Chain A
């Protein structure tokens, strides 16, 4: 079974040379730690930076330089700053090649819910609705089950939606799954995880091919 860093490391394998990538808050942020050195990739943070770098050295933090998670960051050489309308023009206009974000629930037709639990928690959608409505390539990074042990991969989302029929791939602590034709398709299992464990933890329709490879990490 993978931990959060393992999920991020697996998702990093999806990133291609020359891509602009938007990473959401939480596990997605960790993806940046696993991009091979030498690969030309720029991270966009929707509050207004392209070319986001790692956290600053202690003492160098700048209140005017943060990411969408409100964390202090640095800017890489070649970075650019811009306003929020320009930022979402990049996103809505499909200039960003990959979006990675977290979710509370994902459905077998690619719906995603991640912004509200009615009556309990309302944080807001932030940029998530804009991102999922426009990105061509959306990967969800999340745990396969919630704290109560219930599956987060469902036939239909029970929580208010963030977007419809938009998620293409889900990477969890147990598996990599693609979403197409109204079903989850098992692509890989995490090291030490059996197909049966994935089947048991997936409430939505799951298609399992004859042979399922294990994730490979270099």
Chain B
């Protein structure tokens, strides 16, 4: 019989989250972010958390909601250009920020989940990112040593999932979610559609349930669009 990861709601899913923890949050921009879990983290009022997320949301949505409440002590991200409050807190020194190349961020999460403590990459060589990091030449080209990232909790959002924790993402909402699911000590998956066991095709699973500890049916998704670009009919 399959192992069930299903929990009743977002409150049960976030049980055990405490101030001072390191949290991973999937998503790229506002695409594929765990909206329900973020709302619960705001409600819980936890403080001094370190958030690992490619972006920091916008001022009034996504991780911007946690920033507004000054709940975040440190951000580990690659691009934060869409959030004025973030920039203000960073330039004033209230918020500690570690900016790292996007590919290195993705691979550091993947490595964290895959049991690889560190790896060499050419990205960032000769820049501020390389400060204090080991440099080594491979095939005549310099690389820097980047270490794995893990988190106390990883929050991811999928399109479909089942009680076993198997996940399928939609389009570009996949982004960082699969790697972060791997790297969380406790990974919480929220899904738009929680389907009965056996309904998902095992050939089509993006994240196998072994990486997910808790899964719940999300609700009230806003799925806000950051840059609505269209052609007129």
**B-contacting residues of A (Cβ < 8 Å)?**
45-49, 54-73, 75, 81-85, 87-88, 91-92, 111, 116, 119-130, 133-134, 160-164
Nearest residue, chain A, Cβ from B221: A63
**A-contacting residues of B (Cβ < 8 Å)?**
28-32, 54, 77-82, 87, 90-91, 97, 99, 101-107, 109-110, 121-129, 159, 169-179, 206, 223-233
Q: How many contacting A-B pairs (Cβ < 8 A)?
A: 187
Which residues in A have their C-beta under 8 angstroms from that of B110? 85
* Bound form: Cα–Cα A60–B110 in Å: 33
A-B contact pairs, 24 of them (CB 8 A): A47-B175, A48-B174, A56-B230, A61-B225, A62-B171, A64-B32, A65-B171, A66-B225, A68-B28, A72-B225, A72-B230, A73-B229, A82-B174, A84-B103, A85-B110, A92-B122, A122-B80, A126-B79, A126-B102, A127-B101, A128-B101, A161-B127, A163-B127, A164-B126
Nearest residue, chain A, Cβ from B223: A63
Cβ contact of B78, chosen from A87, A119, A125, cutoff 8 A: A125
* Bound form: Cα–Cα A82–B173 in Å: 9
Which residues in B have their C-beta under 8 angstroms from that of A68? 28
Cβ contact of A72, chosen from B126, B159, B228, cutoff 8 A: B228
CB distance from A71 to the nearest CB of B (A): 4
Interface SS of chain A: helix, strand, loop or mixed?
loop
CB distance from A176 to the nearest CB of B (A): 26
Could you tell me if A133 and B122 are in contact, using CB atoms closer than 8 angstroms? yes
* Bound form: Cα–Cα A123–B91 in Å: 11
Could you tell me if A47 and B127 are in contact, using CB atoms closer than 8 angstroms? no
Could you tell me if A125 and B99 are in contact, using CB atoms closer than 8 angstroms? yes
11 additional A-B residue pairs with CB within 8 Å, beyond A56-B231, A163-B126: A45-B172, A46-B102, A48-B28, A57-B230, A63-B224, A64-B31, A64-B170, A83-B175, A84-B175, A124-B79, A133-B122
* Bound form: Cα–Cα A113–B199 in Å: 49
Which residues in B have their C-beta under 8 angstroms from that of A72? 225, 227-230
